[in-house]
Amino acid sequence: MKKITTSAPGKLMLFGEHAVVYGYPSIVTAMDTRIFVIAEMIENSSDIIITPQVKESRFLVESLKLFKEEFQVKQSVKLHTRSDFSHNVGLGSSSAVTVAAFKALSLLFDKKLSKKEIFDLSYKVTLQIQGVGSGFDIAAATYGGTLHFITGGKKIEYLDTEEIPLIVGYSGVKADTPTMIRKVENAFKNKKEEIGKIFGEIEQIIGKAKEAIIDKDYQLTGNLMNKNHKLLVKLGVSTERLESMVNASLASGAYGAKLSGAGGGDCMIALISPEKKGEVEKAIQKVGGTIIRVANNAEGTREEL
């Protein structure tokens, strides 16, 4: 019986987390660590879903359900996953597995789904499960590359760039994204003007960062990352550990550093010149961070042949 293997990349938020949930732009890059989905038709009376990482199974169950409804598929299916990275580090495993599942199912049942259709279906599943989220991680998993993204995918454009010289440090604490989104939502409710102003400042940073990344002006990109990070601190989403990792990176010569993603734990990123790599990595480790070695600007979802 027919069997298909697909994959989709994880993501790193470069600029604009949280503000993007309110319709402001963000910049995200796809990582070269991927999640793989193997889909096959089976003779069973019910579907089989095998996922070594428990959290993923809900995303697969809902993706399969939506796909079957949408395309009136009755055939039973087995979905199996394999992953290059842990779902504990906040680098987008749920979105990657969802996108890879729709890609696999579309190929298995010969439904020609465009990237936009895969994005829309996957975003629907994420919203069903998490209730909140901008969809930027789904965009990275679907389209790959480095993207300028406006919430819900109203506008998604590729930035013409190459691999960006980044170091990724994991803080050792798994953050809960919906909780962090709600934290900012509460702050926004209570201090509309102040928080709205922060979002506006983040938008301005992104306007400049887009050009700086395309021009490979990493000094400027780094400065803009620092500014974005300070605004995230004001939003109340940084942690002591993230602060020490960011400060250690800057003290050891990074162009810029910031938390990446929801905050409250998870990861930070530092932008470096290649000769500073070793020093910055050591500095991050010294304050308790773990280095995650990943390339970025990676390819979006694809069939694995």
Find the binder of ligand MEV among 89, 139, 141, 181 (CB under 6 A): 181
**Which listed residue (110, 120, 137, 215) is catalytic?**
137
**Looking at 72-80, 101-109, 174-182, 189-197, which segment touches ligand MEV (CB under 6 A)?**
174-182
Find the binder of ligand MEV among 9, 10, 25, 133 (CB under 6 A): 133
Q: Determine if 177 is a binding residue for ligand MEV (CB under 6 A).
A: yes
Q: Could you confirm whether 84 is annotated as catalytic?
A: no
Binding mask 135-164 for ligand MEV (x = CB under 6 A): -x----------------------------
Query: How far is residue 120's CA from residue 127's CA, in Å, rounded to a whole number?
Result: 11
CB of 207 to ligand MEV, least distance (A): 18
For 27-63, give one letter per residue: b (16+ CB within 10 A) or e. bbbbbbbbbbbbbbbeeeeebebebebeebbbbbbbb
214 sits in which H/E element: helix 192-214
**Looking at 12-20, 190-198, 226-234, 267-275, which segment touches ligand MEV (CB under 6 A)?**
12-20
**Which bin fits 288, alpha (ψ -120 to 50), beta or left (φ > 0)?**
left
Among 289, 229, 221, 268, which residue's Cα sits nearest to residue 91?
Answer: 268
Query: How far is residue 260's CA from residue 138's CA, in Å, rounded to a whole number?
Result: 16
Binding mask 221-260 for ligand MEV (x = CB under 6 A): ----------------------------------------
Tell me which DSSP letter residue 24 carries.
Answer: -
Query: How far is residue 249's CA from residue 50's CA, in Å, rounded to a whole number?
Result: 40
Q: Determine if 20 is a binding residue for ligand MEV (CB under 6 A).
A: yes
Q: What angle, 0 to 180 degrees and rounded to 10, lies between the N-to-C axes of helices 93-108 and 115-130?
A: 130
CB atoms within 10 A of CB 1: 9
Among 125, 142, 128, 121, which residue's Cα sits nearest to residue 10?
Answer: 142
Number of residues interacting with ligand MEV: please give it, by CB under 6 A: 13
Find the binder of ligand MEV among 8, 12, 21, 96 (CB under 6 A): 21
Q: Determine if 10 is a binding residue for ligand MEV (CB under 6 A).
A: no
For ligand MEV, the closer CB: 39 or 147? 147
Binding mask 72-101 for ligand MEV (x = CB under 6 A): ------------------------------
Q: Determine if 203 is a binding residue for ligand MEV (CB under 6 A).
A: no
Query: How far is residue 69's CA from residue 77's CA, in Å, rounded to a whole number?
Result: 14
Interacting residues toward ligand MEV by CB under 6 A: 13, 17-18, 20-21, 133-134, 136, 177, 180-181, 261-262
The residues that are catalytic are 137
